[in-house]
Amino acid sequence: MNKSLHPSGFTLLELIAVVSLVFVLAVLLVPMLRHSQQQAASGACMSNLRNIGSAFHLYAAENNGLLPAMRYRASSVGGNPNPGQNNWQFEIIPYLDVESTSFKTISQKYGGQGVFCPAYIREFKQNTSAQTLKTGGYGMAKISKDAYDSRTAMATIANPSSTILAGDSDDYHLAIDSRTWANGPDGQGRFGSGDPIRHGTTANYLFVDGHILPMTQERAEALLLGTESL
């Protein structure tokens, strides 16, 4: 019986070729997987913002057309402060059917649904300073001159479809000027107010009329500064 002249198994060159192919595939697939994760988080985030938008409108319907102030501070109470004596997210919590106490509690109990952006939880789950924030993940924009401390009548907002109401942010506020984002994030990855690259190259924003848009940093800045409209 004749035996094959070729030994069984892989030769060194064949092994090198297989390893090289696996490496190339890994290089190609890892960015695709990361992009897929970002897209999934962004989709969940947009769903959260849609729920938050509905809560804002329900709040206004029961409060004579008023939207909540961004915060409540006893030292700077505005002419029409939040009756709950807390920031905007606590004001609308009853319309979201969740309880908001802290980052840690919400991330464990709700997994980012309704209140926190899932990408925010993933990014800052080891950041103790971020975990103490009660409304980290989304911030409310300064929709009127006194919006920090006084509630705003929806009827006074001239262009609801071009006015950002809330969006991805590292804190409760989304009062952005171009200098804030121009310097980029700090050493902990936070912008301080807003997070224009939460989902890769974009962030998600809720408008007063209820629609949601993912936007680049430049586009969001222009709308927040009032230099452009939709």
Q: Per-residue pLDDT averaged across 167-183, rounded?
A: 78
Of residues 46 and 10, which shows the higher confidence score?
Answer: 46
Of residues 118 and 225, which shows the higher confidence score?
Answer: 225
Show me where the domains of the chain are located.
Answer: 15-74+84-225
Q: Which of the four pLDDT bands, split at 50, 70 and 90, describes residue 103? A: very low
In sequence order, what DSSP letters do the residues of 209-229 get, joined into one string? Answer: TS-EEEEEHHHHHHHHHTS--
pLDDT for 64 beyond 80: yes
Q: Can you tell me whether residue 153 is helix, strand or coil?
A: strand
pLDDT for 110 beyond 50: no
pLDDT value for 126: 63
Distance CA 230, CA 216 (A): 14
pLDDT value for 90: 80
Which residues sit opposite 205 in a β-bridge?
A: 167, 213
pLDDT value for 93: 79
Q: How do residues 116-174 score in pLDDT, each as one tens digit?
A: 677 776 766 666 665 555 555 889 999 999 999 999 999 999 999 999 999 998 888 88
Share of the chain above pLDDT 70, in %: 72
Instruction: Please answer whether residues 100 and 134 qualify as being in contact, where contact means their C-beta atoms are separated by less than 8 angstroms.
Output: yes
Q: Which residues contact 202 (CB under 8 A, 6 or more apart)?
A: 42, 196, 214, 215, 216
Q: Which of the four pLDDT bands, split at 50, 70 and 90, describes residue 13? A: confident
pLDDT value for 161: 96
pLDDT value for 106: 54
Q: Which of the four pLDDT bands, split at 50, 70 and 90, describes residue 112? A: very low
Instruction: Please answer whether residues 142 and 70 qualify as being in contact, where contact means their C-beta atoms are separated by less than 8 angstroms.
Output: yes
Q: Which of the four pLDDT bands, split at 50, 70 and 90, describes residue 99? A: low
Q: Which of the four pLDDT bands, split at 50, 70 and 90, describes residue 24? A: confident
How do strand 164-169 and strand 137-140 relate by DSSP bridges?
antiparallel
Of residues 100 and 147, which shows the higher confidence score?
Answer: 147
Distance CA 195, CA 169 (A): 5
